[in-house]
Amino acid sequence: MALGAEYEALLDRLVADLKQLVDPQTDQPAVARVAKTIEVFGCNPHPFLPDLFIEWQPGHVMSSVVHPRATLTQEKPEFYRPSDHCSQGFVAAAGPAIQPRGLLGEVNVLDLAPTFLELMHQPIPPQLKGKTIEAMMDCSERRGN
């Protein structure tokens, strides 16, 4: 499925508008990063994913953000936990095909699916962008061994 020019133009406009938002408390950009799902996952628009992922600047609830054409306001959400959410996580794995070891360092989330498929001796679809995390693999359990 080819993406339409209108869809691409709308995403580009949304990205540009989001990048113009300013936090009036800090006079800094309100958005840290915007990513298009079609670029992150290398796929057509997905029916269960948003078209854009927006990473807001951390630190506090922004009760308003300022755009050159408008000011957007919101009430503080009832549920807000700024101190225990971050963009990093961890993965713990164990099993006969997994090499026992400690920390692997930084792992790309896109590498998890190919790694788990390899561990289950399943084909890795060519559209997956990630690669197998070799440091997790027990060479005696690899395919063909």
Q: Write out pLDDT tens, residues 72-89.
A: 998 877 766 554 556 677
Between these two residues, 98 and 123, which has the higher pLDDT value? 123
Is the CA virtual torsion 41, 45, 47, 50 positive or negative?
Answer: positive
Q: For the chain, what's the residue count?
A: 145
Is 79 among the domain residues? Answer: no
Residues 16 and 64 in one domain: yes
> In terms of residue numbers, what domain contains 32?
5-73
Residues 52 and 99 in one domain: no
Between these two residues, 137 and 54, which has the higher pLDDT value? 54
Is 46 among the domain residues? Answer: yes
Residues 93 and 69 in one domain: no
Is the CA virtual torsion 114, 118, 120, 123 positive or negative?
Answer: positive
Residues 45-60 have pLDDT tens digits of 878 889 999 988 887 8
Instruction: Look up the pTM and report it.
Output: 0.59
Phi, psi of 79 (to 5 degrees): -115, 110
Reply yes or no on whether the pLDDT at 131 is more than 50: yes
Residues 88-105 have pLDDT tens digits of 777 788 887 777 777 788
Residues 69 and 9 in one domain: yes
Q: List Cα–Cα distances, 129 to 9, 12, 81, 110, in angstroms.
A: 25, 23, 32, 7
Reply yes or no on whether the pLDDT at 143 is more than 80: no
Q: List Cα–Cα distances, 142 to 86, 111, 117, 132, in angstroms.
A: 34, 17, 12, 11
Residues 39 and 90 in one domain: no
11-21: average pLDDT: 96
